[in-house]
Amino acid sequence: MIRKVQSTAIALLLATNASCLTPSDDGAEPAALQPQQPSEIPTYSYRVAHSFPHDPDAYTQGLLYNNGFLYESTGQYGQSSLRKVELETGTVVQLHQLDDRFFAEGLALFGNRLLQLTWRANKGFAYRLDSFEPLSEFAYPTEGWGLTYDGELLIMSDGSATLYFRDPFTFDEVSRVAVVAQGHPVSQLNELEWIAGEVFANIWQTDTIARIDPATGQVAGWIDLTGLLNNEDRRGSNAEVLNGIAYDSEGERLFVTGKRWPKLYQIELISPSPKGTP
């Protein structure tokens, strides 16, 4: 369960240079993300409440929770898919394989439709939730990275420091906001999840999730997930970076995983202690 911020604390500030923060290939060298302290942005730690099996071959690009199941978008050319997954077992119970031309990315649920982005094809796909039947395609001019739905608009990332708000029926851009922390742009915004009025965003190539105020673009908090996938679980796997956030709003359960991680975790966030508290 997500605990309310109690006060400000020394936090990790991801200061980035706007001149080098352009969307990049998942295999490219990431732009430097330099911590800067002190700051007034709180950093949350975590406690693992449960862990669940996760397909170690799943290159997780998008993740969401709905009615007891996880829905997952996996990437890589020739391997991209849309999946329905049993939470408790990690078993894939429904699968749609994308054409080899497409590198799948973010995923969002809108009504009875699943909307899936692709990386550089400037094209996304809509599917029936129950059958994964392809329904339509939609276009956008940028790369596709993360996608979520706030109950009114879709929110999309493209690897830059910008969040795009889009009409869920037409996918037309309605507005956009620059994401900043203490005046610095926060780039490499990847997988997104709408949680209790905030956008949670994986910061690519880090163990950090940003909690973003969607109205202002200001980072309201950092979540430091360093050490979540321990060395024992990582050993023998091809595990890569943290990526994938899902939220069960009814049960107030927060789930996270990573690309080719053998486990998915339910975590509880721990608020930073007030200043001066031992």
Residue 100: predicted pLDDT: 97
Peptide bond into 53 cis (omega under 30): no
Choose among 230, 228, 182, 223: nearest CA to 201. 223
b/e map 60-79, b = 16+ CB within 10 Å: bbbbbbeeeebbbbbbbeee
Contact 148, 201 (CB under 8 A): no
- How many CB atoms are located within 10 Å of the residue 53 CB? 15
> Which one is the CATH code of 36-270: 2.40.50.100, 3.40.50.300, 2.60.40.10, 2.120.10.30?
2.120.10.30
Residue 14: predicted pLDDT: 36
Residue 273: predicted pLDDT: 67
Q: What's this model's pTM, rounded to 2 decimal places?
A: 0.84
Domain spans in the chain, listed from the N-terminal domain onward: 36-270
pLDDT in tens, the chain (278 residues): 444 333 333 333 333 333 333 344 444 434 444 444 445 899 999 999 999 999 999 999 999 999 999 999 999 999 999 999 999 999 999 999 999 999 999 999 999 999 999 999 999 999 999 999 999 999 999 999 999 999 999 999 999 999 999 999 999 999 999 999 999 999 999 999 999 999 999 999 999 999 999 999 999 999 999 999 988 778 777 889 999 999 999 999 999 999 999 999 999 999 986 654 44
Q: How far apart are CA 273 and CA 278, in angstroms?
A: 8
Residue 39: predicted pLDDT: 59
